[in-house]
Structure formats: structure tokens, C-alpha cells
Amino acid sequence: MGLFEHSVKNLHDKLVKKEISPFDLVKESFDRIDAVEDKVQSFITLNKETALDIAEELGDSGIDPKNMLAGLPIAVKDNIVTKNLRTTAASKILYNFDPIYDATVIQKLKQAQVINIGKLNMDEFAMGSSTETSHFHKTYNPWDLSKVPGGSSGGSAASVAASEVLFSLGSDTGGSIRQPAAFCGVVGMKPTYGRISRFGLIAFASSLDQIGPITRTVEDNAYLLQAISGVDENDSTSIDAPVEDFSKYLTGDVKGLKIGVPKEYLGEGVQPGVKTAVMDALKTLEKLGATWEEVSLPHSEYGVASYYILASSEASSNLARFDGVRYGYRTENANSLEELYKKTRSEGFGDEVKRRIMLGTYSLSSGYYDAYYKKAQQARTLIKQDFEKVFENYDVIIGPSTPTTAFDIDGMIHDPITMYQNDLLTIPINLAGLPAISVPCGLSEGLPVGLQIIGNHFKEGQIYQVAHAFEQATDFHKRKPSL
């Protein structure tokens, strides 16, 4: 039995008792990477020498019994800046960027004595749903190497599914944690907007982006979320909400819980195997004492269109900083400042990033702002109000994380509209700023299906309560891909 088969809690106990050392865990991580990374390709940059040195120091000083995550190896999506460790956002334009500071979540991980073993592959600037738009390489789904791992946090989900790391951090703008978690059969939490500081997260769409944990179990997820949560003076959008001990919600008890199931989330376009797995999951929760009823989120149909206008508009503003002047890639053959900007961006950004910058700039331009950007903001408000109405009568909302299981590599990359529709069930949650988790709820034709549990603002504890109860009543989280 490999060390990564154990829970965070078990490993912590073993570390405290000195039955194993942090060095053992970090070495196991790198050994596994050596064994499977050529197939999965989860990583962009490894932090091997530093990680092994830190592990050795921690082993010598001993593990604090109160510090649940100390000595455990993690990997981090490559749009979260790490001091002196290359951070590229999977883009040519940042191919040589070595940050001089840590993101707030990295500072928190260091305080918790978690060991960062490397930076994970992703869609370029988090723009994509398949981890195929990375400048460096594609990532492959450990369950079936002919399938995508999802995106944009595909490397984050695939590395956990392939047992290369115990857990990872991703970011979620329109489903980028939950969709790859569903495709790779792991647990992915997108917290309430403002629960976790975005300081040091390379911005895609600032009103939507949120960092979150990807783990093998709900319990592990709760421990990691607690470690990275909290208000931050460097991020004016982070909210001063109490950092809870999320593990106290893991009771297994959901008696009397009221679940709303949106009819829009189980309609046209949802694969029969996905729908069956979700309905079976609802039956499991019923047996545990919960009740569910069909509800409606009528404005969900406008989610994808609103999201791509709003996210692209914010991206066109955020990505203006990449100009070849201060850091990152710079074209070699420019004769004027304007030419430097044009050529650097033309050569440095990939097709998907350029597409979204152009769409966003168009949506914000004079004569189109009211027709597109303003209308999208109004639709966003209606979507948020839909959720508010449902939460007046129900504790959580449940549906599939994705309409399908993982699709083929190169299957949708040349059809952007179909690719965008893949985030149909996750996008409305980001537009409303709500928390949601994806947990494994079965297999369809041998590929994992994700169950999405959505809660009201700052109700992550209640989401964990439902997710953990379901997990304990099933064995889907114990199933592993055979690489």
C-alpha cells in the first residue's frame, strides 16, 4: 500500500509518531512522477532539490501535532506565483518569469509547513476546458490517456488522480476546478468568491477567479481549504469571514436536509450515463434521510453567453500588462514601441487567449458596451437572483458537475463554441459567487462522473457535510485509474 493511499489524518499521525518522515513522502511523490509523468504530463516545473531539502529539515525538527498538513507534499497550478520558482501561466509570454514574491496562498502553505514539489500544467492563462491550450504540452487523463483531463486546472486534477501528489491547488473562473475534478474522479472545491485571497493569482477574470483545493477525499479537502482561507489586506475583494474548522462538519448526518435539483441541469445535452449516476446519488442521499425536489434556475441558459462576454472583457484589461517591456517574452525584431507591443503579443499569446482578448475588447468598445457588456451584467444579476430564490427553501442544490464524461484529446479544441458549452453547469455558480464541490459519483463507460453540490455563500461547511455523507455511503472515491 503506497503512502498516498492513506488520508491526510493518517499520514499526519504517522509523521508525528515518526513512523514515516516528510522525506519519505516527498521521495514517494518524485518516484511516482518519474514512473508516470511521461504518460500524464501534469507538471511544467519541478521543485525537486528545494522540496527534498525542506523535507529533510522538517524531519529533523519534528512535526507539530497541531499542524495537520505539516510535511505533506502538494503541487500548485502554474498561475499561482511562487517566489524564485518559475511561474508561466502555461504561456510563452511568461516562459522565463521567476517571481520575487509568493502568492498569499503559498505563504499560508509555507506557514502550515506544506512542501511544494512543483508547478502544474494548465490551459494558457486558465483559458480552456481541456488543458490543450498550454504553450508547453498537453496533459492526459490518467483514467484513459486518449481523453482530456479537463481544464483549465487539468494538471492539478490529473496529478492527484495519478497519485503523483497527495493534493493540489487549482483556480476556478467558470468551472476550472470542478470540471477537471469530475473528469479525473477526484474531489474539487470552488469556494465562495472572497473566501481565499487572489493576491498572487495571475488574473484572468478578477470578478470570477477563485483558488481552491483538489484532493482525493472530502476530509482532505476540508483540511486544505481551512489552511488557505482568510482575509488578506493585499486583496480588497477577500472577505473577512471567520476561518472555520471545516472538519467539524464531517458528521455523516444529512437527516432532514432539503435538496433542490434544477431541471435545467438534467435536461438536453446531459449524457444518459451522467444523468443515471446523479439520480443514483440522489437516491443514496434519500436513504441517508435527505429529501429532494425539482427546482428551476430559469436564467441558467444565459450563463455561458454572459460569462464569455464578462470574462473576456476582464481578460482584455488584465492581460494588457503583458507588453514585453518589464518581464516575460519580448520580440526580437521591433523597430518602435507600438511594434514591440504588437509583435510581442502576437508571438507570445496563443490562439485561445487572442480570441478572448479580441472578444473582450470588442464587448467593451464604444457602441457595443451597452449591447453586450451591460446586458451580460444584467443577466448575471438575474442568475444570482435565481439561486437566492432557491436557497430560501433549500439547503443545497445538486446536479452533475459536467454534462458529459471526459472527451477525446483533439476532440473539441477546434470547435470553441462546443468547448465553451462544456462549462454549462459550472459557470452560473461563478457568476453568482457561490461555493460548490465536485465529488466522484460513479463511472459511465469506464470514465468518472462528478456530482456537483452547490451551497449558499460561505456555506462550505454544509457542502462538506453533504459531500462527506455521500462519500462515506459509497466507494467511488476509492476507485483509482490503472496507469
**Residue 413: its pLDDT value, please?**
84
Write down the mean pLDDT value for the chain.
96
Task: Classify residue 347 as exposed, middle or buried by CB count within 10 Å of its CB (0-12, 13-18, 19+).
Answer: middle
Mean pLDDT of 55-70: 95
Q: At what angle do helices 351-364 and 303-318 cross, to 10 degrees?
A: 100
Whether the pLDDT of residue 158 is over 90: the answer is yes
CB 208 within 8 A of CB 310: yes
**Residue 289: its pLDDT value, please?**
98
Mean pLDDT of 351-361: 96
Grid cell in block for residue 249: 462538519
The catalytic residues are: 77, 152, 176
Whether the pLDDT of residue 476 is over 90: the answer is yes
What DSSP character marks residue 195?
S
**Residue 245: its pLDDT value, please?**
96
> C-alpha distances in angstroms, 251 versus 102, 125, 387, 468?
35, 38, 26, 8
- Which runs of consecutive H residues, i.e. helices, occur in 372-435? 375-391, 416-421, 427-432
Residue 237 identity (one-letter amino acid): T
**Residue 371: its pLDDT value, please?**
92
Phi first, then psi: what are they for 109, rounded to 5°?
A: -65, -40
3-252 CATH = 3.90.1300.10
Q: Is the pTM of this model over 0.85?
A: yes
Confidence tier at 469 by pLDDT (50, 70, 90): very high
Whether the pLDDT of residue 1 is over 90: the answer is no
Whether the pLDDT of residue 312 is over 90: the answer is yes
Task: Classify residue 232 as exposed, middle or buried by CB count within 10 Å of its CB (0-12, 13-18, 19+).
Answer: buried
**Residue 350: its pLDDT value, please?**
97
Q: pLDDT tens digits, residue range 235-277?
A: 999 999 999 999 999 999 999 999 999 999 998 889 999 999 9
Helix (H), strand (E), coil (C) string for 205-241: CCCCCEEEEEECCHHHHHHHHHHHCCCCCCCCCCCCC
Grid cell in block for residue 394: 433549500
Whether the pLDDT of residue 419 is over 90: the answer is no
Look at the block and give the residue holding cell 434519500.
286
Give residues with Cβ within 8 angstroms of 332, minimum separation 6: none
